[in-house]
Amino acid sequence: MNQDITEKLQEIFDADTGIYQQRGFQRRVGFGSRPALINIDLANAWTRPGNPFTCDGMDTIIPATQDLLAASRAKGIPVVYTSTAYEQPTGPNSDTGLWHLKIPVEVLKVGTEAVAIDDRVAPLEGEQVIIKKRASGFHGTHLASFLNAHKVDTVIVTGVTMAGCVRHTVEDAIAEGFRPIVVREAVGDRVPGVVEWNLFDIDAKFGDVEPLERVLSYLESIEHFGVENVAGSSGS
Amino acid sequence: MNQDITEKLQEIFDADTGIYQQRGFQRRVGFGSRPALINIDLANAWTRPGNPFTCDGMDTIIPATQDLLAASRAKGIPVVYTSTAYEQPTGPNSDTGLWHLKIPVEVLKVGTEAVAIDDRVAPLEGEQVIIKKRASGFHGTHLASFLNAHKVDTVIVTGVTMAGCVRHTVEDAIAEGFRPIVVREAVGDRVPGVVEWNLFDIDAKFGDVEPLERVLSYLESIEHFGVENVAGSSGS
Amino acid sequence: MNQDITEKLQEIFDADTGIYQQRGFQRRVGFGSRPALINIDLANAWTRPGNPFTCDGMDTIIPATQDLLAASRAKGIPVVYTSTAYEQPTGPNSDTGLWHLKIPVEVLKVGTEAVAIDDRVAPLEGEQVIIKKRASGFHGTHLASFLNAHKVDTVIVTGVTMAGCVRHTVEDAIAEGFRPIVVREAVGDRVPGVVEWNLFDIDAKFGDVEPLERVLSYLESIEHFGVENVAGSSGS
Amino acid sequence: MNQDITEKLQEIFDADTGIYQQRGFQRRVGFGSRPALINIDLANAWTRPGNPFTCDGMDTIIPATQDLLAASRAKGIPVVYTSTAYEQPTGPNSDTGLWHLKIPVEVLKVGTEAVAIDDRVAPLEGEQVIIKKRASGFHGTHLASFLNAHKVDTVIVTGVTMAGCVRHTVEDAIAEGFRPIVVREAVGDRVPGVVEWNLFDIDAKFGDVEPLERVLSYLESIEHFGVENVAGSSGS
């Protein structure tokens, strides 16, 4: 069925692309010079079987992310992970906001194995793991000011899900002033079609969807990430 | 072709719905008791022919919005419009951020007829027209604090485009703690397919997609919007 | 010296009050009907001796906060704590932003006893302890959307420091649409004078400074905090 | 009386400085390499006599700001103005939030001469004039993402009032990741003492308070502000 869906959707995308091109959409945001790697919700609830949040495609997503992690760390760029987790599903101290009214966030408990980052793509000591409460990695977190303080200009995005947290993060990223680059092989979801149509929308309006190989070449080409005179340095 | 596309997409949606239902997604956020009406980018650049941003479907969207405006004003709820417009397309004072690198925002100039709200759905004196710079009506605007100060709990959303500003606004709305209700007949876009798949994603994860008739019945059923003891009142 | 300072400052405040009153400042924001208690940085680094962040006045602040906690929990209102803590003081993954360039935030490490809430005012299971990176409890956190989802209209603020985190939190609170009530006996700082002048500025422009007794009476007077039809309930 | 107040306050500041220095506060945030000039509320309601918002010290503030404008424009850096203004003081569409409950914002109407920038420091065509609804220039505005998209690292702040909008803007600036530089001669307020104590607090914790001459020297020393590869450029 996937093959069939892909073909059907491609037919629509081709028609849409004709209109977008004529209207001046689908431009390239391009790569900047100070990237960060942002890994969205690559925690066990999403990357392993048996959870309502389990996603497909980990055979591709995990190795692609491993490659990106290695290339990013080689250049010393900021590496950020997000996970989504809650202290309290109900009552006056509940931190789920209204989201439990739409999706089963009540299974995502702070401090459990389910919301820990998958150890195949584990963070190194000191890399930020941001526990977010909403879809976007930017919403209600210090991500924007973290990136801004480091004068990051480009965010390379991996993870899941395309129809949820990855898309909202990418929309917020360009809104905040960062160039979003979504790595085709490193993103996924849990139902057919949504990866394709969300990548299509993003590439038309919010960020560039690029193959892994091109992103790795870019990372190889940049200078090592210096912190002189910015956040993390020892003075002015 | 639209008929064909709709059928193809419906087939995908049906398969996806099976998975979502089994997993506990696609819940109902439901209507609250203090709604506001948020009309996204129903300005001439989007509602009239001849602009890169021109959208389809105004024969349905405009009358649906007119009905919602009448019902909303009858109950005295907050009515908000957004438009997207810029002072300066290039240079160190440019307010387009990075968005001009993806889409043709350079045609949207502050103060021009193109970015004025379509007079078929014109705001009344005092209704907020928020000039935003990014896709979401919440990003970089006073919309969240405006709604919060009025203790609004539900946002009824109309306008364009589904793949851009409407979707990002809805994602932000639930993140901020407002119940998003998207009115099926009152939203649109400019290329085939994107209305359908974005409504599908939203209904699965971020807000409820409801027919006009149901939203009008809801508005008829609520109490008149009081401002005692909240923003806009004369004291504590 | 404190007595002397207080007198000198009072003389200035009296002169200023004459002008503010004539101009229509120093109004009362008043109490709403759905409060939350927000305890700012009552962690050991601030409440116990021997840290660069150690504050004065805990003989008053701790018992006042204990009274407020009891009264708040009796009515089932949301109780929130903040602490300020960092994963990484330097390098490309540093989360201190630029703040280490002004103040010694490098001593505040995530997971240490120093940044844990003082056990004399310990949170109950499920009460939110928000780890913030900046002065305001709202900046880069889910506090605003947490309060908004619960339809809170009033924030009762305790903690330290008046010249830093408490003041910034109060400014943000009214900006977001919450009525800030600062409890006179429950706030403090580490150098003379700054409590007085920051309370003066706040009461003139951003929130009401109220004595503990009055706030306790208010809490006694309100209805138990219900969660029907809002965040934390089981559905619409 | 001003002389007397200044002396009394200086005595307190000296005592506080002893403690702060010992504790490691009052560090220098320093100048970065890509500044912007942010002029807070230098509109007629604040700069001219006869308004509840009228401030003192314009004999110094206006010429200092004129010097900063000239130096900033010579280097082509972003120049931003804010003003505070409202569409609607009361009712369900009021945009004053809760602030009218504390201060007389009802006199600040959008589109009136009172909220227009003082023509002695008038913006040039294309320079951003941000109409804000709250104290901070960042709250509910596109200021952070505007600065971020231009990769600004330093904000030079002028205007009024020290106890309100200037202070809140500076606190938000460092929180967002920008180095705040407050120009001593270019800021003011309307009641005695508050300029001094707010500058003291800011210099201790949030930004550097610098004399005009030093800021002008800095502006003379920097390179012309390029926009290659950032917001406002024509491509990737």
Instruction: Check which CATH number belongs to the domain holding B175 and give it.
Output: 3.40.50.850
Interface test with C, best of B145, B214, B221 (most C CBs within 10 A): B145
Determine, for residues A232 and C91 on separate chains, whether the beta-carbon distance falls below 8 Å.
yes
User: What is the pLDDT at residue D235?
Assistant: 42
Nearest Cβ partner for C148 among B29, B32, B148? B148
Q: Judge: A12–B8 Cβ closer than 8 Å, yes or no.
A: yes
A123-128 long-range contacts, CB within 8 A, separation 24+: A123/A79, A123/A81, A124/A73, A124/A79, A126/C87, A126/C88, A126/C91, A126/C93, A127/A79, A127/A80, A127/A81, A127/C93, A128/A78, A128/A79, A128/A80, A128/A81, A128/C87, A128/C88, A128/C93, A128/C95
Residue of chain D with shortest Cα separation from C102: D27
Q: Give the span between the Cα atoms of B80 and D94, in whole angstroms.
A: 11
Residue D165 carries which side chain, given as an amino acid letter?
A: C
Residues in chain A, how many? 236
Number of domains in chain D: 1
Of B11, B139, B174, which is closest to A99 when you measure between CB atoms?
A: B174
In 3D space, the residue among A36, C191, B119, A59 whose CA is nearest the CA of residue D204 turns out to be C191
pLDDT exceeds 70 at position B186? yes
Give, for all 236 residues of chain A, the pLDDT tens digit. Answer: 567 888 889 999 999 999 999 999 999 999 999 999 999 999 999 999 999 999 999 999 999 999 999 999 999 999 999 999 999 988 999 999 999 999 999 999 999 999 999 999 999 999 999 999 999 999 999 999 999 999 999 999 999 999 999 999 999 999 999 999 999 999 999 999 999 999 999 999 999 999 999 999 999 999 999 875 566 664 43
* Cα dist from B119 to B43, B66, B165, D189, whole Å: 8, 11, 20, 43
Mean pLDDT throughout B226-236? 59
Residue carrying structure tokens 């290339």: A71
pLDDT of residue C228: 59
Residues C116 and C149 sit within 8 Å (Cβ to Cβ)? no
CA distances from B91 to A155, C213, D232 (A): 23, 57, 5
Residue C33 has pLDDT above 60, yes or no: yes
Cβ(D160)–Cβ(D166) below 8 Å: yes
> What is residue B3's predicted lDDT score, i.e. its pLDDT?
74
User: What pLDDT sits at residue A98?
Assistant: 97
Domain-embedded: residue D10 = no
In angstroms, the separation between the Cα of residue A7 and the nearest Cα of chain C is 39
pLDDT average, residue stretch C84-103: 95
- In sequence order, which ranges of A37-141 are alpha helices (DSSP H)? 44-47, 58-74
Instruction: Please give the pLDDT value at position C232.
Output: 62
For this complex, say whether ipTM is above 0.85: yes
Answer yes or no: is B231 within a domain: no
Q: What is the per-residue pLDDT for B76?
A: 97
How close D235 comes to chain C (CA, Å)? 27
Chains A, B: CB pairs < 8 Å: 162
A227 in any annotated domain: no
pTM over 0.95: yes
Q: Which residues pair with A131 in a beta bridge?
A: A83
Partners of B144 on chain C (C-beta within 8 Å) are 144, 148, 176
| In chain C, % of residues over pLDDT 90 | 91
State the nearest Cα–Cα gap between D180 and chain B, in angstroms.
19
Chain D residue with Cα closest to B105: D232
CB contact (8 A) between residue D87 and residue B150: no
Which of C93, C134, C233 lies nearest to residue A126, judging by beta carbons?
C93
Question: Nearest CA to CA, how far is C77 from chain B (Å)?
Answer: 17
- Name chain A contacts of B172, Cβ cutoff 8 Å: 136, 139
Is C104 inside a domain boundary? yes
Please state the rounded mean pLDDT for residues B47-71.
98
pLDDT digit string, tens, across residues C52-87: 999 999 999 999 999 999 999 999 999 999 999 999
Give the closest residue to D178 by CA, choosing from D138, D235, D213, D141.
Answer: D138
CB-CB under 8 Å, D97 with B127: no
Range of the domain at C112: 32-221
Asked if the model's pLDDT at residue B230 lies above 70, the reply is no
Q: Does the residue C145 lie in any domain?
A: yes
pLDDT tens per residue across span D172-213: 999 999 999 999 999 999 999 999 999 999 999 999 999 999
Q: What is the DSSP letter of C165?
A: I
Contact B102 A201 (CB under 8 A): no
* B111-142 CB burial, b ≥16 within 10 A, e <16: eeebbebbeebebeeebbbbbbbbbbbbbbbb
Instruction: Tell me the helix, strand and coil percentages in chain C, rounded to 5.
Output: 40, 15, 40
Q: Closest CB to A102: pick one of B29, B102, B136.
A: B29
For residue B181, give both structure tokens: 């209700």
B124, closest residue in chain D (CA to CA): D93
Low-confidence ranges of chain D (pLDDT < 70): 1-2, 228-236
Asked if A73 and A124 count as a contact pair (C-beta separation under 8 A), the reply is: yes
Q: Which of C40, C69, C160, C165 is catalytic?
A: C165
Which of D24, D97, D198 is facing C52, going by the closest CB pair? D24
CB contact under 8 A, A145 and D33: no
Q: Please check whether residue C21 lies inside any domain of the structure.
A: no
Report the chain D residue with the minimal C-alpha distance to residue B225.
D92
**C131 - beta bridge partners?**
C83
What confidence tier does B236 reach under pLDDT thresholds 50, 70, 90? very low
Tell me the per-residue pLDDT of A57-66, one tens digit each, with 9 for 90 and over: 999 999 999 9
- The reply to whether C165 belongs to the active site is yes
Give the mean pLDDT of chain B: 95
Average pLDDT score over residue span B133-159: 98
Given this model, what pLDDT does residue D227 score? 74
Closest CA to D178 of D140, D135, D147: D147
Interchain proximity C231–A98, CB inside 8 Å: yes
Which of D43, D147, D165, D186 is the catalytic position?
D165
Q: Looking at residue A234, what is its pLDDT? A: 47
CA distance B180 to chain D (A): 19
Residue A236: per-residue pLDDT = 39
Which residues in chain D have Cβ-Cβ distances shorter than 8 Å to B144? 140
Contacts of C91 (CB under 8 A, 6+ apart): A126, A227, A232
pLDDT (0 to 100) of residue A8: 87
Q: Residues of chain B with pLDDT > 70: what percent? A: 95
Tell me what pLDDT residue B229 has: 52
Q: For position C235, what pLDDT does the model report?
A: 42
- D53 within a domain of the structure (yes/no): yes
